[in-house]
Structure 1
């Protein structure tokens, strides 16, 4: 390597060291959401909370964004504090009464175990849409209350 190459290399690396590096992606803003589930049919059976933030994935098997399991520990009500990225979310939940890790259904495909949705949507003939169940997460905190009462 000749002297000119070394000088150019040295000058170039000095300039690169002074050049500001691009900022990486900033972490998504999150908010504390307290999901309060009331009127649990069982004070022992596990409650599964399925969180969705993609409209097209809502209620599709295995397509939830986040899944949480909560034991009621003898209470008819649970509270799950969770940090969620800001945006639109919907929650579907079930209570597994027979502990078989499935949502049991009858011959028509209607769940025979307790279930509920955010905004306390009560579907009659078809599963609810994301738009019916969605809520907006923003700001420092939010409380979402869901009743399991049918």
Structure 2
């Protein structure tokens, strides 16, 4: 291969690199915060497997609660399906508090705001992120 062909191949391969996986910003608006204390623990999952493991989140964030609504923006999120789980840790133990029968005693919410009895599956809270910026709202209960 001569230098001219090699240069052309290099230029073509640079151009093809720009057609890789699309990425967008994802903004998560969290509303319904009644007690202005503690922190919001936010976990973003990119598959049923990562959600099932509980420890393999695509992204985790902790936000100090100081108002009744908070927003979080994640930059350069690759296109795909995601599910978000949020809870307000009122007592600072980094765990979702539950009563004696296992019902959450601290506020929580999920992407798509499903009406569920019991813990959600990924398919219950999944939403798509494409090449355009996305915004979702999670209402804490």
TM-score, L = length of structure 2? 0.80
Structure exhibiting the larger radius of gyration computed from Cα positions:
1
Distance 1:117 1:141 in 2: 19
Contact 1:103–1:111 (Cα < 8 Å) also in 2:
yes
Q: In the alignment, is residue 113 of structure 1 matched against residue 106 of structure 2?
A: yes
From the superposition, tell whether residues 92 and 71 of structure 1 become closer, same or farther in structure 2 (CA, over 3 Å): same
Distance 1:60 1:104 in 2: 19
RMSD: 2.4
2:61 to 65, 68, 71: 68
Distance 1:106 1:92 in 2: 19
Distance 2:21 2:63 in 1: 26
Distance 1:109 1:61 in 2: 17
Aligned residues: 134
Flag the structure with higher strand content. 2
Distance 1:122 1:63 in 2: 25
The aligned residue for residue 34 of structure 2 is 41
The aligned residue for residue 143 of structure 1 is 135
Distance 1:53 1:45 in 2: 26
Distance 1:114 1:100 in 2: 14
Range 137-146 or range 26-35, more displaced: 26-35
- Name structure 2 gaps, 5 residues minimum: none
Contact 1:116–1:122 (Cα < 8 Å) also in 2:
no
- Name structure 1 gaps, 5 residues minimum: 1-13
Misfit runs of 4+, over 3 Å: 18-28
Q: Please report how far the alpha carbon of residue 59 of structure 1 lies from its aligned counterpart in structure 2 after TM superposition.
A: 4.5
